[in-house]
């Protein structure tokens, strides 16, 4: 995807976030995130609901299920409390998952 939407550090979004874009989250989202592109949750980012995208990269925290069309990557420092569903799931050393991996 060519368009990248950024939720900046210090931003607090309450509600559903959706669109046909790539999304990078540095702030806090309290609601479902569902985009057609890639989702990147940076180290300071937090999503308190489910996340759906083509490729989901987590460096921050997610409290909800994560579903991806292509794959999920949990990088060092990632914290996920929820289930992971994708054709490919990668959990790097130093990442935490509390949930099922499918």
Q: Which pLDDT score is estimated for 1?
A: 54
- What count of Cα atoms within 13 Å lies in the side-chain half-sphere of residue 37? 15
From CA 54, how far away is CA 94, in angstroms rounded? 24
Q: What is the pLDDT of residues 30-54, one digit of tens each?
A: 999 999 999 999 999 999 999 999 9
pTM above 0.85, yes or no: yes
Query: Residue 6 — φ and ψ, nearest 5°?
Result: -120, 130
Q: What is the pLDDT of residues 47-94, one digit of tens each?
A: 999 999 999 999 999 999 999 999 999 999 999 999 999 999 999 999
């Amino acid at each position: 995807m060519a368009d990248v939407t950024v939720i900046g550090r210090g931003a607090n979004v309450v509600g559903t976030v959706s669109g046909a874009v790539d999304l990078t989250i540095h702030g806090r989202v309290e609601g479902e995130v569902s985009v057609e592109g890639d989702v990147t949750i940076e180290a300071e980012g937090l999503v308190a609901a489910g996340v759906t995208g083509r490729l989901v990269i987590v460096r921050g925290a997610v409290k909800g299920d994560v579903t991806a069309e292509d794959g999920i990557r949990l990088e060092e420092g990632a914290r996920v409390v929820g289930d992971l569903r994708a054709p490919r799931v990668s959990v790097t050393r130093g990442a935490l998952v509390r949930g099922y991996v499918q």
